[in-house]
Amino acid sequence: MRCCEIIEKLETLAPVCYAEEWDNVGLLAGRRDKEVNTIYIALDASDDIITEAVHMGADMLLTHHPLIFRKLGRVNTDDFIGRRIVTLIQKDISYYAMHTNFDVMGMADAAADALSLTDRSVLNITFEDKHITEGCGRVGQLPKRLSVAECAAFVKECFQVPHVKVFGDLEHFVEKAAVMPGSGGSYIQDALKAGAEIMITGDIDHHKGIDAVAQGLTIIDAGHYGIEKLFIPYMEAILKEQLTGVRVCKADFKEPFVVI
């Protein structure tokens, strides 16, 4: 199957029109006419991932986070991004990223599904027309009323993470939750407006965490990677279902840092 045919399926799932203006999604390196026999799926196009994709004989690399965010003035081996791009092109690996378009059309509901949220609504509307309202994150009801301590344990189990960071009273009880995969600091006000009692997200710093609590919102930080690694099995299942004659491989789950 040619790369362009696979891209058509990817963009049916998560159309590029749902991506934020600042984002950089789509085919970022390589050939659209490349014949693809093996796809490798990962969250980031890191050095280790590209090495593994080469080792697996991948013809196409699919990631959530784009390797190229800002305009590049040159592509050479003087910096790590250039080296990665050069390797991908040398190895004839077509590289595709689906980021904020997937956040809207995939990641948000996958995270809400993991938490079994009901009575859902969009946390932050980013796209709206006559027929549809969509956006990042979801707000809904937890399966039952939980203490914050119980909810933290539930989040660890749902997302299979070794630890979470909690801002708030562990003995307080919550039921209405917001979930925002990735970095959720800038969505705290959205969660408050939606009436959420707790927000599950990643990358919450000291000041945003304590300020959220001061406004009545408990925060559980399960890590940026911790939640968004959902992308890997989600896309594996879809591609295996929709592609014929293409081998689909995925990166192993590996936290990008350790807590000592």
258 contacts: CB under 8 Å, gap ≥ 6: none
List the structure tokens of 133: 């309202």
Q: Where are the alpha helices (DSSP H) in the chain?
A: 3-13, 47-55, 80-90, 100-102, 108-114, 148-159, 188-193, 206-214, 224-228, 231-242
123-145: pLDDT as tens digits: 999 999 888 999 999 999 999 99
> What CA–CA distances, in Å, run from 178 to 6, 101, 142, 207?
33, 19, 9, 19
Convert the pLDDT of each residue in 83-106 to its tens digit: 999 999 999 999 999 999 999 999
- Which residues, including other chains, have CB under 8 Å from residue 252's CB and lie 6 or more apart? none
Model confidence at 70: pLDDT above 90: no
Is residue 29 pLDDT above 90, yes or no? yes
Q: What is the rounded CA–CA span in Å between residue 21 and residue 6? A: 23
CB 115 within 8 A of CB 142: yes
| Average pLDDT of the residues in 76-89 | 97
Whole-model pTM: value is: 0.96
Distance CA 233, CA 173 (A): 32
pLDDT for 157 equals: 98
